Amino acid sequence: MVVLERTADGPRYNPGLLDFAGRYGFAPRLCRPYRARTKGKVERSIGYLKDRFFVGRTFTDLEDLNCQLLGWLDAVANRREHATTGERPCERLAREQLSPLPVVPWATELRREERAAHRLAAAPQVAARPLAVYEALT
């Protein structure tokens, strides 16, 4: 979960997200809830992958999926002209000269422990009553 709660002062982000953002040097920015127009381009690209790449394919493992995906990107997706930009994605990407994010070690075991501790801390408190109270009511 990215946002733990929305308050008048703004969103309260998941500490794990803030840690991740700090390691990779970005600031999270939220779209307004239930406003498809604010994140439509991102959502549409996921739909494009689902409709054009995943349908009818099978994969033996993650490596096979990645291999098939890279081949499809090179042969199909990055070769078409994008309707909004009027450019082929491979040309746009080359012009923008983006570089991969640095590999930053992430202590996943620690993160799992933190999540477990958060779940326990966030669990609702339930009042425990001795069984005698219920027996007296029946």
Which tens digits make up the pLDDT trace of 18-45? 888 887 788 888 877 777 667 666 677 8
Which tens digits make up the pLDDT trace of 74-117? 999 888 888 888 899 888 888 888 877 777 665 555 555 565 65
- Radius of gyration (C-alpha) of the chain in whole angstroms: 23
In the chain, domain spans: 1-30, 34-100
What does pTM read for this prediction?
Answer: 0.49
Q: Map residue 13 onto helix, strand or coil.
A: strand
Angle in degrees, 0-180, between the axes of helices 108-122 and 15-24, rounded to the nearest 10:
150
